[in-house]
Amino acid sequence: MSLHPRVLRDLLEAEADVARERLGDRVTNISVGANNVEVHFIAHGVERRMRLTGADYDRRPLSLSFVDETGNPLPAEGWPPITTGGHHPVLGTPWTCLRGTLEYHLYAGHTAAADSWDASRADLRVPDVIEHVLQRCTA
């Protein structure tokens, strides 16, 4: 069962607050929409915008994408080089192999119980996913 939209937004706001506190000046902005968190940051002199989206969070993990300044998803070629895994074999969208994202948990190679979203969702929250993406992008 999905969360009520207001409860989902409140949950995402709380997670964004933790991310803002934890990440400080490593991000330039974190905003929350109805079912997403958008993070702006600078990596190697280039402004990036990461979006984590999911109407079914936290029953299912959030989907990771990179977007342009108007909010449109970028093609794989527009993703930071270290993050793209090409196109997801199930979804057909750009993706990165990162535990805690929808794309990771839908990948056939990550179906073991230890890799399930249910096994990790209590300890792997939005700030953790953002931090992992930032680490990859700024390495």
What is the model's pLDDT at position 86?
86
What would the pLDDT profile of 81-109 be if each residue is shown by its tens digit?
877 778 898 898 999 889 999 999 888 77
Q: Which domains does the chain have, with CATH numbers?
A: 5-138 (3.10.110)
With cut-offs at 50, 70 and 90, classify the pLDDT of residue 63: very high
CB atoms < 10 A from the CB of 48, how many? 23
Above 70 in pLDDT, residue 115? yes
Counting Cα atoms < 13 Å in the Cβ hemisphere of 106 gives 17
Amino acid at 136: R
Above 70 in pLDDT, residue 7? yes
Average pLDDT, the chain: 92
- Report the percentage of the chain scoring pLDDT > 90: 70
What is the model's pLDDT at position 9?
96
* d(C-alpha 73, C-alpha 93), whole Å: 10
- Alpha helices by DSSP H, listed for the chain, are 5-23, 102-106, 117-120, 126-138
With cut-offs at 50, 70 and 90, classify the pLDDT of residue 113: low
Tokens of 71: 């909010």
The DSSP secondary-structure symbol of 4 reads P
